[in-house]
Amino acid sequence: MILAKISPKRYTFNMNSKICVIGSSNIDQIAYTQNIPADGETLFGDSFQMGFGGKGANQAVMAGLLGADVYMITCLGDDVYKEMTITNYQANNVNTDHIQMVRGSSGVAPIWVDSTGQNRIIVIPGANNEIDATKAISSMEEIGDIAVLVGQCEIPMDVNHEVFKYARSNSIITIFNPAPATTLDKEFLNHISWLIPNENEFKLISGMEPNNENFMKFKKEVPCNLIVTLGEKGAVLVEEDGTKYFEAPTVEAVDTTGAGDSFIGTFAYELSEENSPEECIKKAVAKASQSVTKKGTQSSYS
């Protein structure tokens, strides 16, 4: 959804199990170009688009569009992007009652997309770094009866530690997307029900190349369920006794930005509907594949 064209539309859905997303809200500043410039090189681009992003925001919006009863816990600055971001959440069926506010700038993400649809992203967290864990836990207590909690690495990891610890102690299913990639300690992994990295993130957090043998080896080292997303190749569910691959449909990729978040948001929704992991992954792969056929991040979701 482009900022200049935002409209206060509302969706009517049947409310399902509650999903809480804690994470980032960013304004995406997307430049489309034939080629990414080399060091010291200046090139003319093809077009520019400003839109709503942040991994947490993307995942919440995807779940909201599918009809989830989704609540967003995030932090915004007191700048021009604050009201736009809140309106966008509300327009996409995401509850905004628990958004935190601080002085300073909201998060932004300059993004370059080349002619193949591949992207390069720099995230400047801003207010995302100021999210308060105590307030977040109070919000979760107020929301009540949360079925699924979703998180990522675009907010401070100490906040994630506290919030995920609370969630697991209250029998909430937890999904963690370790992006941008960072190492995860064993204590934190004990609070995760589903760990979902992509291939590059898997390599960083495991120290191993992303292949079937290493997927199995890493699964034996972690106490949680493991899915690795494989881009155009789909995704793999890694279990104690083997792996199950889920192929993606062949599509013409225009922009891969936000495809992983589409997968996470869809998986969270389908899991909250008590579908099998296999069915959840199939739906998530399909939605992620669909998203890369359109430009933009949240504007590519449906």
- Quote the pLDDT of residue 301: 92
pLDDT of residue 117 exceeding 90, the answer is no
Domain span at 256? 16-23+55-74+131-297
- Quote the pLDDT of residue 256: 86
Strands 119-121 and 107-113: antiparallel
pLDDT of residue 1 exceeding 50, the answer is no
Whole-structure pTM value: 0.87
Structural domain includes residue 61: yes
One of 28, 69, 255, 261 is an active-site residue; which one?
261
* CA nearest neighbour of 228 among 208, 213, 210: 210
| Cis peptide bond prior to 180, omega within 30° of 0 | yes
Percent of the chain surpassing pLDDT 70: 95
- Quote the pLDDT of residue 158: 97
pLDDT of residue 11 exceeding 50, the answer is no
Per the structure, how many domains does the chain have?
1
pLDDT 10s digits, 26-58: 998 889 999 999 999 999 999 998 889 899 999
> Could you say which DSSP state residue 105 is in?
P
CATH number of the domain residue 282 falls in: 3.40.1190.20
**8-14: average pLDDT:** 37
Structural domain includes residue 106: no
pLDDT of residue 6 exceeding 70, the answer is no
Lowest mean pLDDT of 90-104, 158-172, 201-215, 250-264, name the range. 250-264
Structural domain includes residue 108: no
What is the secondary structure of 239-298 as a DSSP string?
A: ETTEEEEEPPPP---S--TTHHHHHHHHHHHHHHTT--HHHHHHHHHHHHHHHTTSSSSG
Structural domain includes residue 194: yes
To the query of whether residue 261 is one of the catalytic residues in this protein, the response is: yes
pLDDT of residue 12 exceeding 50, the answer is no
Distance CA 172, CA 264 (A): 17
Lowest mean pLDDT of 74-78, 112-116, 200-204, 295-299, name the range. 295-299
pLDDT 10s digits, 165-184: 999 999 999 999 999 999 89
Average pLDDT in the chain = 92
State both tokens at 125. 């967290």
pLDDT of residue 14 exceeding 80, the answer is no
- Quote the pLDDT of residue 298: 87
Q: How confident is the model at residue 147 (pLDDT cuts 50, 70, 90)?
A: very high
Helix (H) or strand (E) holding 215: helix 212-219
Structure-token match 């992983």, residue found: 260
Structural domain includes residue 102: no
210 Cβ neighbours under 8 A, 6+ residues apart? 199, 200, 202, 203, 228, 230
Structural domain includes residue 136: yes
Lowest mean pLDDT of 146-160, 162-176, 284-298, name the range. 284-298
- Quote the pLDDT of residue 16: 63
Structural domain includes residue 284: yes
Structural domain includes residue 38: no
Structure-token match 């929301």, residue found: 143
* CA nearest neighbour of 233 among 198, 189, 196, 181: 198
